[in-house]
Amino acid sequence: MSKIQLIATSAFGIESVVSRELKWLGYDDQFVENGRVTFAGDEEAICRTNLWLRSADRVLVKMGEFKALSFEELFEQTKALPWDEWIPENAEFPVEGKSIDSKLFSVPDCQAIVKKAVVEKLKQKYRKEWFEETGPRYRIEVSLLKDMATLTLDTSGAGLHKRGYRKLVGNAPLKETLACAMLLISRWKYDRVLIDPFCGTGTIPIEAALIGLNIAPGLKREFDAEKWQVIPGRLWVKAREEAMDLIRKDQELRIHGSDISEEAMSLARYHAKQAGVESYIHLQRMPVTDISSRYKYGFIICNPPYGERIGEMKEVEKLYRQMGTIFSKFDTWSYYVLTSHPEFEKLFGRKADKRRKLYNGRIMCYYYQFFGPPPPRKNID
């Protein structure tokens, strides 16, 4: 099983970010589609991508893809796939599904057909009629899009946004994967100052610190595939040892997070400690009107309130006007703002140099990007 087709799934709008991350890891043989990047790898790639991908949602094994216009076609072609090469006799193998613009629109029926087909395939190998499913989990997904069925095995388990440090959450939490995508889109570098004046429970500053220290985001959590027989345990050990060796422990970072809520700041400090980066981030309760910096060049990256609840819109619009005034004082900085408000640029008082459609959960947003001048190059004698 030296060559495996793998899929890194993502939120819409950040597929190119996931693609870039995969290329950094050395996986250049890839194909980018809406919500996913398909790439070629091996068993070691499953370990490394789960540990290292910052903006992807999951890593899946692509078992097969085919056109399915009837339940019979779905059954026979699913049964023909090599499930017996992956799934052991004692495995738990739940089936999940989704169907969009397909003749086979009943998801429960599709799930049942796929489950039956996989069982029939495993019966042939293990010579038994009943599977107790008490062992490791191999979550199967059948995804139907315009009559094309894609069958996958989920190697990640819990979504990759669950790094392990955020045990407690505040109101409207920003997913860690989206926070990372915002950072990677901005091209922020660890030697530059970063301010998040609406840091909430600390997601953007913490993810920035993990990037700056080159800490693999999955280092403190487990994955379903760690218990799979087909992937030797030594590969997981090797991948984790490699990740530990690559941490930049002595890196100096200038990352600042603030928020008006003391409760949010308390959670941010707790999460930073859980992530092991509390000594690399300066966290302070402070309104956005008080932010300042002695540095001439830097980045402001933030996810301010959107005013989604009734009665909040006027306050939010007042806040956006304040942001325009305050940020303009950072005239040599770059700033990046994620919001769903359609009039943000007008309220902010400046047209963005670039904007990008992103989804914060189910909320369609724009990521407004305002570019400052690059700092002068240092002379090298």
C-beta contacts of 18-23 below 8 A and 24+ residues apart: 18/53, 18/55, 18/56, 20/184, 21/52, 21/53, 21/54, 21/55, 21/56, 21/184, 22/49, 22/53
Per-residue pLDDT of the chain (381 residues; tens, 9 = 90+): 568 999 999 999 999 999 999 999 999 999 999 999 999 999 999 999 999 999 999 999 999 999 999 999 999 999 999 999 999 999 999 999 999 999 999 999 999 999 999 999 999 999 988 999 899 999 999 999 999 999 999 999 999 999 989 876 656 579 999 999 999 999 999 999 999 999 999 999 999 999 999 999 999 999 999 999 999 999 999 999 999 999 998 999 999 999 999 999 999 999 999 999 999 999 999 999 999 999 999 999 999 999 766 568 899 999 999 999 999 999 999 999 999 999 999 999 999 999 999 999 889 999 999 999 988 887 554
137 pairs with which residues across the strands?
92
Residues 6+ apart with CB under 8 A from 199: 205, 257, 258, 259, 264, 265, 268, 283, 302
**Positive or negative CA dihedral for 308, 311, 314, 316?**
negative
Contact 105, 99 (CB under 8 A): yes
- What domains are defined for the chain? 4-154 (3.30.2130.30), 176-216+247-370 (3.40.50.150)
Distance of CA 135 to the CA centre of its chain: 28
According to DSSP, the β-strands at 139-145 and 95-100 are parallel
Instruction: Provide the sign of the torsion angle of the four alpha carbons 169, 172, 173, 177, taken in this order.
Output: positive
First-last CA distance in the chain: 52
Report if pTM > 0.75: yes
Q: Are 243 and 220 in contact (CB under 8 A)?
A: no
- Cα–Cα distance measured from residue 350 to residue 344, given in angstroms and rounded to the nearest whole number: 9
* Encoded tokens for 86: 């992956």
Angstrom distance (rounded) from CA 128 to CA 76: 20
Find, among 120, 113, 111, 116, the residue nearest to 140 by Cα: 111
Helices assigned H by DSSP within 228-299? 233-245, 262-275
